[in-house]
Chain A
Amino acid sequence: MPESTILPSAQDRDLRVDFFRGFALWFIYLDHIPSNVMSWVTMRNFGFADATEVFVFISGYSAALAYGRVMQRQGFGFALANVWHRVWQLYVAHLVLFMFYTAQVAYVAARFRNPMYVDEINIAQMIEAPHLALIHALLLRFRPVNMDVLPLYIVLLLSFPLALPWLRRRPLGVFTASLALYGAARLFDWNLPTYPAGDGWYFNPFAWQLLFVIGALCAAAPERVFRWVPWNRWLAWAAALYLVFSLLIVLSWQVPLIDSVVPDWLSDVLYPIDKTNLDSLRLAHFLALAYLVAHAVRPDARFLQSTLVRPLIECGRQSLYVFCVGIFLSFATHFVLVETSGSTFMQIAVSVGGIAILSALAVTLNWYKRMDLRSRKLPKQEASVQ
């Protein structure tokens, strides 16, 4: 299989990136709705890795593509400014989400005073000093549940310029450094602090940066990556077998029959599977999946052009908006489920509704972007006449 057919040409937008990012965003949305039967269809029930791995990898990949191009055309300084401008946008988005979160907690605490949940209701009182909580939120230290992906992305992108110039020149060096950091973080328990004092960030940036860097290297130095990990039938079989193994273990958590077949020594080796520190099982699962998918789905694959797949691609293109609105919608959806009915039918209905809203939003934003670009290209006289 010649390498050139697997890589997109430099000018075309690689639709696969949009497609898989759209996928990850939909799954993140579904997974963020608590006790949602639709979350059964998401990745995490078929293997160790879930949408977060996909999201981080693709973020690295597209960051390297986008800012690599900027660096080539306009120099490192401008690329740096570009990256940090983006980081600022992400930070603002995080604060907006935090505002919605606080509003929801306050509302729930006021309305839902069920004494049976005397321990759980304390969540509102956990924010004992709201002004302190706000300061810590600004410092990315107070990150409530379900608001962990964006701060991770912020930190990763913020430090990305450190690696950017070396991605093409010294890919092996960058990979080694990243791997060393990952190993040290897991060995010495490095993490960033949280408030209230707890375990550190739910997604440890020191560990997760490895996946981001791997994604970036795949975009910036694909020929080298293909030389290190060529298409090999044995490797493909090993990857496939690992995926099956991973599926069985995940199933064993739900199906007692399979659970009884898993030997104790295996359980001892596998568990606990550390999501916070990017457990090697999850990393390996994602890499196996990526290896097979990268070769199965070419950049020019026909299904990527079909209308059925278009909502995914549109969502993938507007990832920040879709992500933020997705998180907000997951709050709202959860609220609707609790207030009206928690039945399975409702769960499916609101999940599908939410996806529809996200797709509509993405399509609208992309349309607006195209229109905006077109109006800017009009010659000045025409514009002033109108």
Chain B
Amino acid sequence: MLCAVAFAFACPAARADEVVPENCEVSSSLVYSEEALPFVAGRLERDKVLTILVIGSGSTAGSGVSEPRFAYPEQLRSKLLSVFPSAVVTVRKDAKRGATAKDMLRTLESDLNTVKPSLVIWQTGTADALRSVPLNEFGMSLDRGLRLLKRKMVDVILMDMQFSPMTDAFIHSSPYRGYMRWAAKRNEVILFRRYDIMEYWWNHEVFDLGSTDAEVQLSNADNIHECIAGLLAQMIARGVRQPQ
């Protein structure tokens, strides 16, 4: 029945579950979302086109992976191609190390005009938590960005910071994550809970995030970025199928 309804998308339901590598599956409550991706779905149905803009900081820029093509935005493209084989998938990114939400907001509008995406994946919170940016200021930047995206009729997936057992003791990330969760709920956008997901992997010993061995760190980075890409693709597929 789902296949019949979604035949224009060539049945992504089954494929979506295949793009997530087996070892990095997480409990369903961590990737559950009720929000839909109407603009993505509409654009896919009409033009068979999926254009994504990813904005973020160091991790989005691909720090730590062995080659640039292993960063999660690049891997996302190949994952989405297998989920939506008949669509033209483009993934562009604008990522700078140490960029706060306010920094990203500055270039958001011009990026939107250049790329004209149907989906923006906004990864933020890392630099803000690190620098203890006032929570109100962070919140305002988030709200302004999300309102702008809504006006421009673009779907959004919000992504929070990475989990690191080493620096966890030194960075107050929970107020910022809490705010992002609330902003996502209020603006009805999907929140990709990267922190919780990586913490799940750490607790279940899927990846040794605290390793100080350079080779282990490198292979971990490549695998983690692939997992993130897979989970994102799965989320996008679900959001597209979600009734509005």
When the two chains form their complex, are residues A275 and B127 in contact, meaning their CB atoms are under 8 A apart?
A: no
Known: A126-B131, A198-B132, A339-B210. A272 touches B139 (CB 8 A): yes
Known: A272-B179, A343-B203. A119 touches B169 (CB 8 A): no
When the two chains form their complex, are residues A342 and B210 in contact, meaning their CB atoms are under 8 A apart?
A: yes
1/0 per position for B89-121, CB-CB distance to A under 8 A? 000000001100000000000000000000000
When the two chains form their complex, are residues B205 and A342 in contact, meaning their CB atoms are under 8 A apart?
A: yes
Give the CA-CA distance A122 to B130 in the complex, in Å.
8
Which chain A residues border B210 with CB–CB below 8 Å?
A: 112, 338-339, 342
Known: A198-B134, A338-B166, A342-B165. A119 touches B139 (CB 8 A): no
When the two chains form their complex, are residues A118 and B205 in contact, meaning their CB atoms are under 8 A apart?
A: no
Q: Considering only CB atoms, which chain B residue lies closest to A122 in the complex?
A: B130
Q: Is A255 interfacial (CB 8 A cutoff)?
A: yes
When the two chains form their complex, are residues B175 and A275 in contact, meaning their CB atoms are under 8 A apart?
A: yes
1/0 per position for A285-314, CB-CB distance to B under 8 A? 000000000000000000000000000000
Q: Is B186 interfacial (CB 8 A cutoff)?
A: yes
When the two chains form their complex, are residues B185 and A199 in contact, meaning their CB atoms are under 8 A apart?
A: no
Which chain B residues border A341 with CB–CB below 8 Å?
A: 205
Which chain B residues border A198 with CB–CB below 8 Å?
A: 131-134
Partner of B199, one of A35, A331, A334, A337: A35
When the two chains form their complex, are residues B221 and A115 in contact, meaning their CB atoms are under 8 A apart?
A: yes
Q: Is B232 interfacial (CB 8 A cutoff)?
A: no
Give the CA-CA distance A34 to B135 in the complex, in Å.
21
1/0 per position for B155-169, CB-CB distance to A under 8 A? 000000111111111
Known: A35-B202, A108-B167, A144-B170. A116 touches B179 (CB 8 A): no
Binds A, one of B7-15, B41-49, B58-66, B235-243: B58-66
Known: A115-B63, A118-B58, A256-B32. A196 touches B165 (CB 8 A): no
Partner of A116, one of B32, B64, B133: B64
Which chain B residues border A120 with CB–CB below 8 Å?
A: 126, 130, 161-162, 164, 167, 171
Q: Is B150 interfacial (CB 8 A cutoff)?
A: no
When the two chains form their complex, are residues A105 and B170 in contact, meaning their CB atoms are under 8 A apart?
A: yes
When the two chains form their complex, are residues B170 and A123 in contact, meaning their CB atoms are under 8 A apart?
A: yes
Known: A126-B131, A272-B182, A343-B203. A35 touches B165 (CB 8 A): yes
Q: Is B217 interfacial (CB 8 A cutoff)?
A: yes
Q: Is B52 interfacial (CB 8 A cutoff)?
A: no
Q: Considering only CB atoms, which chain B residue lies closest to A35 in the complex?
A: B199
Q: Is A114 interfacial (CB 8 A cutoff)?
A: yes
Give the CA-CA distance A354 to B184 in the complex, in Å.
37
Give the CA-CA distance A275 to B174 in the complex, in Å.
11
When the two chains form their complex, are residues A118 and B162 in contact, meaning their CB atoms are under 8 A apart?
A: no
1/0 per position for A267-279, CB-CB distance to B under 8 A? 1100111011000
Known: A255-B29, A272-B182. A121 touches B167 (CB 8 A): yes
Q: Is B34 interfacial (CB 8 A cutoff)?
A: yes
Give the CA-CA distance A144 to B59 in the complex, in Å.
24
Q: Is B234 interfacial (CB 8 A cutoff)?
A: no
When the two chains form their complex, are residues A118 and B97 in contact, meaning their CB atoms are under 8 A apart?
A: yes
Which chain A residues border B166 with CB–CB below 8 Å?
A: 108, 112, 114, 117, 338
Which chain A residues border B202 with CB–CB below 8 Å?
A: 35, 342
Give the CA-CA distance A260 to B33 in the complex, in Å.
10
Shortest beta-carbon distance from B55 to chain A in Å? 14
When the two chains form their complex, are residues A117 and B64 in contact, meaning their CB atoms are under 8 A apart?
A: yes
When the two chains form their complex, are residues B163 and A253 in contact, meaning their CB atoms are under 8 A apart?
A: no
Which chain B residues border A118 with CB–CB below 8 Å?
A: 58-59, 63-64, 97
Give the CA-CA distance A276 to B209 in the complex, in Å.
30
Known: A105-B170, A117-B164, A144-B170. A199 touches B182 (CB 8 A): no
When the two chains form their complex, are residues B131 and A196 in contact, meaning their CB atoms are under 8 A apart?
A: yes
Which chain B residues border A115 with CB–CB below 8 Å?
A: 63-64, 217, 221
Q: Is A153 interfacial (CB 8 A cutoff)?
A: no
Within 8 A of A (CB), among B188-244: 199, 202-205, 209-212, 217, 220-221, 224
Partner of A123, one of B29, B63, B171, B209: B171
Shortest beta-carbon distance from B196 to chain A in Å? 10
Which chain A residues border B23 with CB–CB below 8 Å?
A: none
Which chain B residues border A196 with CB–CB below 8 Å?
A: 131-132
* A114, A200, A272, most chain B CB atoms within 10 A: A114
Give the CA-CA distance A115 to B185 in the complex, in Å.
32
* A116, A271, A343, most chain B CB atoms within 10 A: A116
When the two chains form their complex, are residues A334 and B59 in contact, meaning their CB atoms are under 8 A apart?
A: no
Which chain B residues border A366 with CB–CB below 8 Å?
A: none
Give the CA-CA distance A104 to B169 in the complex, in Å.
10
Shortest beta-carbon distance from A132 to chain B in Å? 16
Chain A residues at the B interface, C-beta cutoff of 8 Å: 34-35, 37, 104-105, 108, 111-123, 126, 144-146, 194, 196, 198-200, 202, 253-256, 260, 264, 267-268, 271-273, 275-276, 330-331, 334, 337-339, 341-344, 347
Chain B residues at the A interface, C-beta cutoff of 8 Å: 29, 32, 34, 57-59, 63-65, 97-98, 126-127, 130-136, 139, 161-172, 175, 178-179, 181-182, 185-186, 199, 202-205, 209-212, 217, 220-221, 224
**Interchain residue pairs with CB less than 8 A apart (11):** A35-B202, A112-B212, A114-B217, A119-B63, A119-B130, A123-B170, A199-B135, A260-B34, A334-B168, A338-B210, A342-B205
Report, nearest first, the 5 A-B pairs whose CB atoms are least far apart. Answer: A116-B64, A34-B168, A118-B63, A199-B134, A338-B210
